[in-house]
Structures are given as C-alpha cells and as structure tokens.
Chain A
C-alpha cells in the first residue's frame, strides 16, 4: 500500500521560541485512518497547520503522493485542495450565517464553475447527512450538526487527505457513533486518507489503522494500535492511557494471571478472547470428566 502523505524530519518553531515540532517523521497510508495521539500541547495542531500550508515548515519535507510539497504562494491553493482540515471547534470554521453558503466557500475558492460547486455541495451534504439542514441558519444548529457541516465544508474541496482535529470532542454518544460511521464510509467508499487527532483512547482501536504518539513535538512511537497498546507505560508517560477494554485485559493478564491477549482493545476483540477462554475451560473440563470415567 502506498503512502498518501509522508513527513520527513519536519520542524517548526514559533516566533516566541517554542519548538512545537522537532524533526517529525511519519507516514499516512493511502485509504487508511492514521491516528495522531498526544496530550495537550504535544504539537498536533501545529503539525496539521504545516501539512495544510497555513504554517510553513522551517526544515524537513512533506511528500504528498510521493511528490514534495512546495510552500510557495502559488502552490498553496493546490496544497489546500489536496489536504483539508476540519478544526476541533466548528464555530471557528463556520463563518457564514447560512449552511449552504458556508459549505460552498472552499469549492468557490477553487474557482470551479457554479454547476460543479452545486454538485459538490449536494454530494458533501448527502455524505454527511445534512441535506435537510441546507436552509438553516448556522447559529440555529446543534453542536453535532455544526461538526457535520464543518466536515462537509472540507469534503466539498474533494481533498485526498482529510485531517480531523478531535472530531468527536464534545459530542454525545450518538454523535460519536455518527461521526465514526461517516469516517468508515469516507475510508471504505471514497478511499480517502484520513489523519485523526484524538484524546478519546476508546475510539482509537475502533477506527485507526495506524497510530503515532506525539509528545513535546517529537514522535515517541508509532505502529498499529495493537503494537502501541502493548506498551502501556509509554502511553502513561505521555499523559494518555490504554482504552478501557485494553486496560481490563492488562489487569486480567498481569494481576489475575489469566491468559488473555493484552492488546485486545475493542469489545469484539475482548469477546473473542473471553469466548476462547471459555471454550478452553470447557474442553479442559470435558477432558477431565472423560479421564475420570476411564479411571
């Protein structure tokens, strides 16, 4: 599988001297969801703004689809088309008083003809399930609806890579499920590459194919969720934790001596482990009964 996005030794220091990114390297595979984990101030937002060209890296390279990204003024529109960001607070992103107009903003900025913009706006609304909200004023939307409108406003630019900063923060459980479903659909049906920053550790094993752990502007570790969750001490050192299910598995394994896989982090993985254990116990008991009878 090829890399849609590759970051090589990217560094960025703010004017006040804060080194927000320190020689970061990571890869986001095409058509996969890559999670960026990290506590507050780890550098996630700075990384995303560098990837979208709002900030310009001071050193290092960003490769999109194998080609090096240039940060010249004339290259920025293309970069922003290819890499879209959905910000954490939708109120920062939705500036139009009207849903339909707000969604159209990015596509109009691409200089597309009105028919094409309309087609894309309709499609983005259908994807995010907000077609019924098209006539609503932005201020009349709920927080979850605003999140969806914000996502539609980026989808309309048809980016190859979409970055979502804390997409489930502040949502109710139903809202979280809806966003998750949407992310699956974007990955499965559009083959979109998604980069996801989240603190919600229970979400990570459900949707991320790869994860990177960011701390103080450096990548601490990376790999599949299972691989990273098998090193809980690194997560804890960096103000994070295991997903609840993985934590339960860790306790069962380390404290109760039960032979379960410690990296099982989702309900389905835990269910498999428990069923496997039960069957093992049943088999052992059946064997014992059989042996008793023979005796």
Chain B
C-alpha cells in the first residue's frame, strides 16, 4: 500500500521496529489523552519533523498523506463547531433555528482537529518508516499471540492478490458492458464479490498444499530479520512525552 512504498525508501527502515513502535505509541497516547490543542499541535510538529529529517521523506509526500484524513477532519470538525447554541454566545447563528457557531464550539473543534492531526503524525511516523512485515515481527516480540500475527501476515499478503484478482474480473466485466446501468452494476459487483470469495477459497487450498510441501507443521516459522538498534527512540519518546506534559501544564495554567 502507499505507506509501504514509503517505508521501503525510508532511512529508518532497518531500525528495530519495537523502539519505533514505542516512540510512536507514547506520543500518540499522550496526545490523545491530553485533550489539548497545544499538545496536538506540538505532536504534529515533532513527529512531522522527525519523519522529514530522520525518515528522509519529502514535505510533498507527507502533506499528500495528510490530505485524505484532512477532508474527513474538516467535515467532522465543521459539525462539531456548528451545534445547538443553548446559552452560549453565538458568533454566528442560523436564523432562529437555535443552531450556530459559538466560541466554545470553535475551540472544541480546533482542539479535536489538533489532537487528530497530532495523532495522525505519530501514526505516520511509524507507518511511513516501517514495513508491515516488520510490524508483525515487532508484534511477535511483544508476545502478541502467534496465530493472530500469522493471520495478519497472510491477510496482508493475500490482500494484494485478491485485489488484483478483483481488478481483473472487473476489467473482464467492463469489457463486456457489465457496468452500463445501476442494476447491471449492482449485479456485476455482486458476482464479482462472490467470485473473489470462491477464488480465495480455492487459492487457500492451493496455498495450504504448497505450505505442506515445504514442511509446514502448523506454525509459520521464518528467519527473523536483522535490524540496527533503535535504543535512541526510548529517550526520544521520554523527551517528547515530557515536553507534551509541560505544554499541557502551561496551557492549563494560562486558562486558570
């Protein structure tokens, strides 16, 4: 997928995924639970800078990744800002409907926007610098049940195959005018879904046979990768968390 391509090129690709995961997770959790626009903004700034400087990604790519969630966020935050006015002083009201935009609503929407962007930046720092296969390896080391991790790996691998298969079927359907009207499109899409399921089952059988022929005994065991140490992530995570805490305190202090 998109982030996987970035991760392939990242300068942090070969850094141990576990410390990277902790760094990202610590920043994400503090940002989410702080409920603060300033902390959200700081998290966005820090993780974006880390992504650009350490990961070696360009600002253009990073902003492209933010574009889609920004669309959803704009709609969501707009709805948060536009709400029943109650006793709050309206900055703008929709006639006499009792709905409008208040200062409190705007502040809440701003806080949610900053928090969501901060959280996204923390997640992107991990996903744009770590392949899914490295993530599953990190999960194994974090003692996530093997079955769950294996399922994740297999789903990830075969997602691409099924997507290709679905795309091929769709092209074949389109070439025979399968999507000309809405009823036709619905029928074709239904057939496509059924066919993909059927083919997935058949492929599942074939994959199991191939696994068995290579000595599969119920557990998918492969050689672990070798990574460069990422110990620097722990002090970095602590420094970011402390800074987030100080910013939160400063923000709350100014309000008091």
Contacts and interface: CB of A to CB of B under 8 A. Distances in A.
A106 B154 CA distance: 17
Interface in A242-283: none
The binding surface of chain B is classed by DSSP as helix
B161 interface: yes
Nearest to B214: A106
B212 interface: yes
B214 A104 contact: no
Contacts of B249: none
Contact of A108 (B136, B207, B221, B225): B221
A49 interface: yes
Given A87-B206, A96-B157, A101 B225 contact: yes
A60 interface: no
Contacts of B133: 96-98, 101, 137
Interface in B164-195: none
B152 to A, nearest CB: 10
B210 A139 contact: no
Given A97-B132, A110-B215, A49 B209 contact: yes
Contacts of A121: 223
Size class of the contact patch on chain B: 20 to 34
A85 B216 contact: no
B222 interface: yes
A96 B223 contact: no
Interface in A76-127: 77, 80-81, 84-85, 87, 89, 91-98, 100-102, 104-110, 114, 117-118, 121
Interface in B42-68: none
Given A87-B210, A96-B157, A109-B214, A137 B4 contact: yes
Contacts of A215: none
Contact of A81 (B209, B215, B221): B215
Contact of A89 (B158, B160, B206, B224): B206
B203 interface: yes
B246 interface: no
A105 B222 contact: yes
Contacts of A157: 214-215
A284 interface: no
Contacts of A137: 4, 8, 131, 133
A96 B8 contact: no
A101 B224 CA distance: 7
A10 to B, nearest CB: 17
Contact of A96 (B4, B153, B216): B153
Contacts of B88: none
Give the top 9 A-B pairs by smallest Cβ distance, nearest first. Answer: A109-B215, A104-B223, A139-B160, A101-B222, A106-B214, A92-B206, A98-B133, A93-B210, A108-B221
Contacts of B131: 97-98, 137
Contacts of A107: 223
Contacts of B221: 105, 108-109
B149 to A, nearest CB: 12
The binding surface of chain A is classed by DSSP as helix
B107 interface: no
B217 interface: yes
B156 interface: yes
12 contacts: A80-B213, A80-B214, A84-B213, A87-B209, A95-B157, A95-B211, A96-B220, A100-B225, A105-B221, A105-B222, A108-B223, A139-B160
Given A84-B213, A94-B157, 15 more contacts: A52-B213, A80-B212, A87-B206, A87-B210, A92-B209, A93-B207, A95-B154, A95-B207, A96-B133, A107-B223, A108-B222, A109-B216, A109-B221, A135-B8, A157-B215
A157 B216 CA distance: 13
A101 B223 contact: yes
B66 to A, nearest CB: 24
A211 interface: no
A49 B209 CA distance: 9
A43 interface: no
Contacts of B132: 97
A117 B225 CA distance: 12
B126 to A, nearest CB: 17
A167 interface: no
B213 A85 contact: yes
B14 to A, nearest CB: 9
A139 B157 CA distance: 7
A91 B161 CA distance: 8
A118 B223 CA distance: 8
A54 interface: yes
Which of B207, B210, B214, B224 is most buried by chain A, counting CB atoms within 10 A of its CB?
B214
